Amino acid sequence: MAEGTFATAINCMDGRVQLPVIEWAKTHFGVDYVDMITEPGPDKILAEGPDDLISSIKNRVEISVNKHGSKIIVMTSHDDCAGNPVDKETHLKQLRDSMRTIASWSFPATIVGVWMNSDDWKPEIIEKLEQL
């Protein structure tokens, strides 16, 4: 097991959301490190597929949970997403659906769905699923 405490963030590859999510997760959850799992439009991927990308994300979350002891999984959606250019309502539906996908993996972790608005890049908790 790695030293220090970890959270896991499934986040868009968009560089604008990386540091805000890392800093917020470290402060909000009191962890030392945040394992970043990035894809373009991960909310759409986990909500709709394809299965090979869902499996890839799951494998990376498994490493974070099992090898780093992460007890928090932050699932992030944001507006102005080049990888998933849809409206906020669609993003929020995909965010909730993606959280259900993550929950189906049965990791002993709390899943937190976060929305990032491009006006200020401050995370807003949309939903929280406790699985500890």
Domain ranges, ordered by start, for the chain: 6-129
Q: Calculate mean pLDDT across residues 92-111.
A: 97
Q: Which regions of the chain does DSSP assign to beta strands (E)?
A: 6-12, 33-39, 72-78, 110-116, 123-129
Distance CA 112, CA 74 (A): 5
Q: How far apart are CA 10 and CA 75, in angstroms?
A: 5
Instruction: Give the list of residues 6+ apart from residue 104 with CB closer than 8 angstroms, or none.
Output: none
pLDDT digits (tens, 9 = 90+) for 30-52: 999 999 999 999 999 999 999 99
* CATH top class, domain 6-129: alpha beta
pLDDT in tens, 19-33: 999 999 999 999 999
The reported pLDDT for the residue numbered 132 is 55
Question: How many angstroms separate the CA atoms of 8 and 107, rounded?
Answer: 12
Average pLDDT, the chain: 95
pLDDT at 131 (0 to 100): 67
Give the percent of the chain with pLDDT over 70.
Answer: 98
Side-chain half-sphere of 81: how many Cα atoms within 13 Å? 27
